[in-house]
Structure 1
Amino acid sequence: MVILVLNCGSSSIKYQVIDIEAGANTLLAKGLVERIGLPEGDLTHKPVGKERFELHRPIPDHTTGIRLVLEALTNPVHGVIASLSEVKAVGHRVAHGGEFFPASCVVTDEVKEKIRALFEIAPLHNPANLEGILSIEKVLPGVPQAAVFDTSFHQTIPAINYMYALPYEYYEKYRVRKYGFHGTSHKFVAAKGAALAGLDLAHSKIVTCHIGNGASVTAVLDGRSFDTSMGFSPVDGLVMGTRCGEVDPSAITFIGEKEGMNYSELNAMMNKKSGVQGLTGLSSDMRDIDKAYHEGNGKAILARDMYDNRIRKFIGQYAAEMGGLDLIVFTGGVGENSDEMREGVCRGLEFMGVEFDAAANKGARGVDKLLSKPASRVKVAMIATDEELVIATDTYNLVK
């Protein structure tokens, strides 16, 4: 069954085309549409076994972008399917499912309305995700669609971990609570990491670290999300590229009062001007921070040490919450590519039973690999995440 997977952002569309059947998954193509709504848009199409194709032209909206993707997929030179009739379903990444969606689901009118109802608490993501669904209805009418939510995996978190110690009425009125994100990635790498380490996922204590420009850590107890570092929004938890992560709320209100900043300005400051970008004034990219770190830049040294320490702190916290730890998994753009970050985080965890294998870690990038010594009581692994495969698999299981 050929499935188109879409991840629509406010001005972008990431996509993959996967031919999926029981026991076999074949990637046919992947690509990216960028700069939607700007004077000049970009399409980069990467078909497996063929030359990549690029297109540069105005792309006014998501519907146009998806039409261009479908044209690329069926092109006689760089296409991967003969006709659009081969696309049997479309799976969408949807950032926020609130408390409505504990699992992936087939898209219906009711589902669309619930996604829309969550615009207020996910203003940067859900509108674009819904736009992708509506666009497919226009260009591929009648093709079944599925929604796969970043938050669904975390719906198993118990109330002691998802509630905030705020007046309970705000939970009742506005559902203010921890939701967590990156759920598809945490779910995927926990299962794959357990298999690599020889663990029974259903009887295990795992901490998964999805480390990219946005980053989160999750406690996975017996295969289910038990706690996670992102909260009501993706700004909480770790030090990230441009997000501040965990911070005393009074520090934010104090800055707002001193600087005369309104809510929108404070929100932008926490989400877009903080993290390693805010600490260093250099970059939000950890590769740039690493370079400055080795050049002796004091702010870069502080930022990287804070970055690693915050991850280590959550690993320790979640080991305490679960009553032990069997496995630490690193994934994501930084987690899969920065051997320095992985070693920096694991340094000092020997007391927990971590025997880190620096030689195995050195230079390892984007592969599934154990990074702990054979005798290590707590295993450490790097797993290449594949959120698109999770979306395609859920979509296949829902519509087959």
Structure 2
Amino acid sequence: MILVVNAGSSSIKFKLYKIENKTPVALVEGLAERIAVDGALTIKRGEDKYEYKDQYDNHLMAVNSILKHFKELEVIKNENDIKGIGFRVVHGGDKIVKTVELTEENKKAVEDNIKLAPLHNPGALTAINAFQKGLPNAKLVGCFDTSFHQTMPKKNYLYSVPLKWYENHKVRKYGFHGISFDYITHKSSEVLNKKLEDTNLIICHLGNGASMCCVKNGKSYDTTMGLTPLAGLMMGTRSGDIDSSILQYMAKELNLDIYELTDILNKQSGLLGISEISSDMRDVSNAALNDKNPKAISALELYTQRIAEYIIKFANHLEGKVDAIVFTAGIGENSIITRELVIDKIKILNIKLDSSLNEQNYEDYLEISSQNSDIKVYKIRTDEELMICKETINFI
């Protein structure tokens, strides 16, 4: 069995797979949360849902609780059934360029990059150490959101700031959502019946956090997020790209420091900031389409315009040789109006959607472009947990 873990400072999201004939089959999934508060655990098995109230003073107590309930539900006989644990880790810096075994040296790299991902890496590292104690015989594997983008050329990851900032302080574009982009790249090559190294894609990972990736010859060539996940597209609560001098201007206007302003750009901007309604695209699009709310309409227009502009930029990177545009993640997979408006805003390329296919339900993937479109458009459901599971299997 392989356990996939996505941990934060107060939560552990997990999914347990059994490997049957070399194929991962999901057994249970769940969430341990409110760690160091009062503790709450939910485990789902098929249609069944189990909820527990256990006291977690730390991540190790949460790990032990998860394993205890796995045994109670007879999902595992003992801890040794779990041969490997795959962890999602947000930031690997510029040293970790692929999935790695979490040796002491690689754990040190996670720790060293806390300064680049202060909200995410500490929780991941705490969970890694807790599972190492709770499951000492399992092989620990780290899958990094940044590693997929380490193939970007220097011209796409350097900023036009003093070079010493990069050389001495590691200021560069790293990009995120790499596990999802990796999964979609492999999935698309299968769907398109093309070799991975011949696959050129523009992938739109649109969720509450959103980014895009230009995949050239099966590898990341450019992406929208930067040193942090704040750059690039407009998101649920993040601003995306703005004029950096706005920070200096608003510091004087509002008498706020750089930390307070950055917090606003991360948590009070994007769809929420423009619509003043919600950070959820479902709420914003409903207000725009049904209530004709002008602020919601503006938010929807800004959101889709930015995506369209990056599609044009990335198509230029690929010299027009685009095998497919792929929409994925919560909004990309499910928002009909988002896909429609994005494609409608691309004027210099002949890309057309089939409206009936755009609205059609689907399980795994579906081509939604019309027959007279020069570039194929797909909606594909991403599966980061499955990607992490497969990567972990490679180390077993």
TM-score of the pair, normalised by structure 1: 0.95
Aligned 1:151-230 pairs, distance under 5 A = 151-230=146-225
Q: Aligned partners of 1:249 and 1:351: how far apart in 2?
A: 29
Q: Aligned partners of 2:33 and 2:330: how far apart in 1?
A: 19
CA displacement at 1:22 relative to structure 2: 6.2
Q: Aligned partners of 1:229 and 1:347: how far apart in 2?
A: 21
Aligned 1:261-272 pairs, distance under 5 A = 261-272=256-267
Q: Equivalent residue for 2:357?
A: 360
Letter in 2 for 1:327: A
CA 246–46 in structure 1, closer or farther in 2 if over 3 Å, else same:
same
Q: Aligned partners of 1:139 and 1:84: how far apart in 2?
A: 8
CA 357–200 in structure 1, closer or farther in 2 if over 3 Å, else same:
farther
Q: Equivalent residue for 1:276?
A: 271
**2:29–2:44 Cα contact (<8 Å) kept:** yes
**2:309–2:346 Cα contact (<8 Å) kept:** no
Q: Aligned partners of 1:165 and 1:225: how far apart in 2?
A: 21
Q: Aligned partners of 1:354 and 1:201: how far apart in 2?
A: 23
CA displacement at 1:368 relative to structure 2: 0.9
Q: Aligned partners of 1:255 and 1:37: how far apart in 2?
A: 36
**Secondary structure of residue in 1 paired with 2:125:** helix
CA displacement at 1:372 relative to structure 2: 1.1
CA displacement at 1:357 relative to structure 2: 1.0
Query: Which of the numbers 92, 101, 109 marks the counterpart of 1:106?
Result: 101
Q: Equivalent residue for 1:31?
A: 30
Q: Aligned partners of 2:284 and 2:393: how far apart in 1?
A: 41
Q: Aligned partners of 1:102 and 1:65: how far apart in 2?
A: 30
Q: Aligned partners of 1:310 and 1:365: how far apart in 2?
A: 26
Q: Give ranges in structure 1 of 5+ residues lacking alignment.
A: none
Q: Aligned partners of 2:216 and 2:124: how far apart in 1?
A: 30
Larger deviation, residues 218-227 vs 60-69:
60-69
Letter in 1 for 2:300: R
Q: Aligned partners of 1:23 and 1:223: how far apart in 2?
A: 24
Q: Equivalent residue for 1:68?
A: 65
CA 204–144 in structure 1, closer or farther in 2 if over 3 Å, else same:
closer
Q: For residues 336-394 of structure 1, give each alpha carbon's deviation from its aligned partner in whole angstroms, at most 9, with x where no partner exists.
A: 11111111111143642322111111143553111112443211011111111111111
**2:275–2:296 Cα contact (<8 Å) kept:** yes
Q: For residues 52-77 of structure 1, give each alpha carbon's deviation from its aligned partner in whole angstroms, at most 9, with x where no partner exists.
A: 101134433222222222122221xx
Aligned 1:1-400 pairs, distance under 5 A = 2-20=1-19, 23-38=22-37, 40-48=38-46, 51-75=48-72, 78-294=73-289, 295-324=291-320, 325-349=322-346, 351-364=348-361, 367-398=364-395, 400=396
Letter in 2 for 1:9: G
**1:194–1:327 Cα contact (<8 Å) kept:** no
**2:54–2:65 Cα contact (<8 Å) kept:** no
Q: Aligned partners of 2:305 and 2:24: how far apart in 1?
A: 38
Larger deviation, residues 256-265 vs 168-177:
256-265
**Secondary structure of residue in 1 paired with 2:116:** coil
CA displacement at 1:169 relative to structure 2: 0.5
CA 43–365 in structure 1, closer or farther in 2 if over 3 Å, else same:
farther
**Secondary structure of residue in 2 paired with 1:119:** helix
Q: Aligned partners of 1:366 and 1:351: how far apart in 2?
A: 32
Q: Aligned partners of 2:194 and 2:369: how far apart in 1?
A: 14
Larger deviation, residues 322-331 vs 168-177:
322-331
Larger deviation, residues 101-110 vs 61-70:
61-70
CA displacement at 1:140 relative to structure 2: 1.2
Q: Aligned partners of 2:360 and 2:278: how far apart in 1?
A: 23
CA displacement at 1:10 relative to structure 2: 2.1
CA displacement at 1:204 relative to structure 2: 2.9
Q: Give ranges in structure 2 of 5+ residues lacking alignment.
A: none
Q: Aligned partners of 1:57 and 1:23: how far apart in 2?
A: 35
Letter in 1 for 2:249: F
**Secondary structure of residue in 2 paired with 1:391:** helix
CA displacement at 1:227 relative to structure 2: 0.1
Q: For residues 242-278 of structure 1, give each alpha carbon's deviation from its aligned partner in whole angstroms, at most 9, with x where no partner exists.
A: 1000111011221122222122212211111111111
Q: Aligned partners of 1:59 and 1:174: how far apart in 2?
A: 37
CA displacement at 1:37 relative to structure 2: 2.6
Larger deviation, residues 227-236 vs 252-261:
252-261
**1:357–1:372 Cα contact (<8 Å) kept:** yes
Letter in 1 for 2:52: L
Q: For residues 270-306 of structure 1, give each alpha carbon's deviation from its aligned partner in whole angstroms, at most 9, with x where no partner exists.
A: 1111111111222111111112112111111100111
Superposition misfits of 4+ residues, deviation over 4 angstroms: none
